[in-house]
């Protein structure tokens, strides 16, 4: 069994044995998805993918892996969110680093990203392109092309026939892949749309926007120093430092004045849970472990939204999009606040993955 002073095996502990024991333990602790949790923990400890876990059932865990697994299982058994225990969370096409003190990305937020990307595409279709953003994108692409070009030259020089006059097939394949990638990059055109992401947290929204629409410049902000540090860490790990600027501030307080009024999209996942609901109805795994700063939206959950709505006309360009994730209980009220404010050509509420009203989308008049 996995004992309290560390994982001390009385006999060989294989991947399968640890998996089965962990599933049973977490089930007794009330984990809603004990097998998924056990798989994630094993993956984090062993470095195996979930598929590899099932292909390596007979692989013994080392003493170090068992000790790490014991710690991870104990933390999960106490109700700590799985993402904090493993330190990461898949989000769209990325893996985002997570840590206690910063809100964990949710699948519902991917719907918010979809809406914000529509706003970017609408701006591109309208011909929006800021020269400074295009220059920045061109410099980034130029640097990347230069690096890839050097790699192509290196691979080409290494293509030397053997004594039979034949080339190594793997070397040729790698060379051809790099040549194709270089040619594809040569066809890329710097874009130039600017996006503002407020309450960025881990940076998952900002990084999705920059990663899925290359050439887009994103400004991300957060009041939490820890969140800002983590967002920068995720940004750098994904190679998006040239596309995303992160500021520590209250909403847009640190955003350069010359950028205000130029954003084609303002996107945010602010705290939106009403205080009473947070105390009464939110699961302990969320309420007791995730930062209250990122959860508590005040009496009706719209305290910060009202401030974002007041900021939006100054931040957005004409025809710019406001995209905000909110609660199913207050998103319609937020839409009414938009309509009452005026200046919006279109206001709608979109459903999340579970078909609940979740995302507010409002488009400024031109």
Q: What is the pLDDT of residues 296-337, one digit of tens each?
A: 999 999 999 999 999 999 999 999 999 999 999 999 999 999
Distance (Å, whole) CA 363 – CA 222: 24
Pairing of strands 263-268, 244-248: unpaired
| Alpha carbon distance 184, 186 (integer Å) | 5
Give the whole-angstrom CA distance, residue 159 versus residue 151: 13
Q: Single out the residue of 363, 364, 359 nearest to residue 324, CA to CA.
A: 359
Number of domains in the chain: 3
For residues 153 and 237, state if they share a domain. Answer: no
Burial 132-161 (b: 16+ CB within 10 A, else e): ebbebbeebbeebeeebeebbeebeeeeee
Average pLDDT over residues 146-160: 74
Return the exposure string of 118-128: e unless at least 16 CB atoms fall within 10 Å of the residue's CB, then b.
ebbebbbeeeb
163 and 267 inside one domain = no
Q: Is the pLDDT of residue 237 over 90?
A: yes
pLDDT above 80 for 343: yes
4 within domain boundaries:
no
Residue 166 is predicted with a pLDDT of 73
What is the chain's mean pLDDT, rounded? 88
Which of 116-120, 169-173, 232-236 is the least confident region?
A: 169-173
* pLDDT higher than threshold 50 for residue 8: no
Domain with residue 29: its CATH number is 1.10.8.10
In a domain, 2, yes or no: no
3-state secondary structure at position 295: coil
| 76: nearest Cα among 48, 104, 34 | 34
Within 13 Å of residue 34, how many CA atoms lie on the same side as its CB? 15
Mapped onto helix, strand or coil, the DSSP state of residue 244 is strand
Looking at the domain assignment, is residue 87 inside a domain? no
What count of other Cβ atoms lies within 10 Å of the Cβ of residue 169?
A: 8
Residues 301 and 326: their CA atoms lie apart, in Å, by 8
Q: Quickly count: other Cβ atoms within 10 Å of residue 63's Cβ.
A: 12
Q: Are strands 88-91 and 94-97 parallel, antiparallel or unpaired?
A: antiparallel
Residue 93, in any domain of the structure? no
- Contact between residue 175 and residue 159 where contact means Cβ atoms under 8 Å apart: yes
Determine the Cα–Cα distance for residues 366 and 212; give it in Å rounded to an integer: 26
State the residue range of the domain holding 317.
109-129+191-364
**52 Cβ contact partners less than 8 Å away, ≥ 6 residues apart:** none
- Where a domain ends, among 146, 170, 186? 186
Mean pLDDT of 95-104: 93
Statement to judge: residues 19 and 50 lie in one domain: yes
pLDDT score at 10: 55
What confidence tens digit (pLDDT) does each residue in 196-205 have? 999 999 999 9
- CA-CA-CA-CA torsion sign (4, 50, 45, 241): negative
Q: Within this chain, do residues 164 and 234 fall inside the same structural domain, yes or no?
A: no
Shared-domain flag, residues 117 and 144: no
pLDDT of residue 191: 67
Domain assignment of residue 5, yes or no = no
Regarding whether 115 and 47 lie in a shared domain, the answer is no
287: how many CB neighbours lie within 10 A of its CB?
A: 16
C-alpha span between 216 and 153 (Å, rounded): 30
């Amino acid at each position: 069994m996995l004992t309290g002073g560390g994982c001390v095996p009385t006999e060989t502990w294989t991947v399968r044995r640890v998996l089965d024991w962990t599933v049973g333990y977490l089930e007794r602790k009330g984990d809603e998805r004990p097998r998924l949790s056990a798989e994630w923990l094993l993956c984090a400890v062993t470095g195996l993918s979930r598929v590899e876990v099932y292909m390596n059932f007979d692989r013994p865990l080392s003493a170090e892996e068992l000790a790490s697994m014991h710690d991870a299982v104990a933390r999960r058994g106490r109700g700590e969110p799985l993402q904090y225990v493993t330190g990461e969370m898949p989000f769209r096409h990325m893996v985002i680093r997570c840590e206690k003190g910063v809100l964990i990305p949710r699948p519902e937020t991917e719907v918010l990203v979809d809406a914000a990307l529509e706003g970017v595409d609408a701006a591109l279709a309208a011909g929006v392109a800021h020269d400074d953003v295009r220059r920045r994108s061109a410099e980034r692409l130029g640097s990347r092309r230069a690096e890839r070009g050097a790699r192509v030259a290196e691979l080409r020089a290494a293509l030397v026939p053997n004594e039979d006059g034949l080339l190594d097939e793997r070397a040729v394949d790698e060379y051809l892949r790099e040549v194709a990638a270089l040619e594809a990059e040569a066809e890329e055109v710097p874009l130039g749309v600017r996006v503002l992401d407020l309450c960025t947290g881990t940076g998952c929204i900002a990084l999705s926007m920059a990663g899925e629409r290359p050439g887009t410049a994103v400004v991300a902000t957060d009041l939490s120093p820890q969140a800002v540090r983590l967002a920068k860490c995720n940004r750098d790990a994904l190679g998006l430092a040239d596309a995303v600027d992160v500021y520590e501030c209250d909403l847009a307080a640190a955003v350069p004045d010359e950028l205000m009024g130029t954003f084609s999209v303002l996107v945010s996942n602010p705290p939106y849970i009403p205080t009473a609901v947070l105390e009464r109805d939110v699961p302990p795994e969320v309420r007791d472990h995730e930062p209250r700063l990122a959860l508590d939206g005040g009496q009706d959950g719209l305290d910060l939204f009202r401030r974002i709505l007041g900021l939006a006309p100054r931040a957005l360009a004409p025809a710019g999009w406001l995209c905000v994730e909110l609660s199913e209980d207050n998103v319609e009220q937020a839409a009414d606040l938009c309509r009452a404010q005026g200046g919006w050509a279109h206001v709608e509420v979109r459903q999340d993955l579970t078909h609940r009203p979740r995302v507010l989308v409002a488009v400024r008049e031109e």
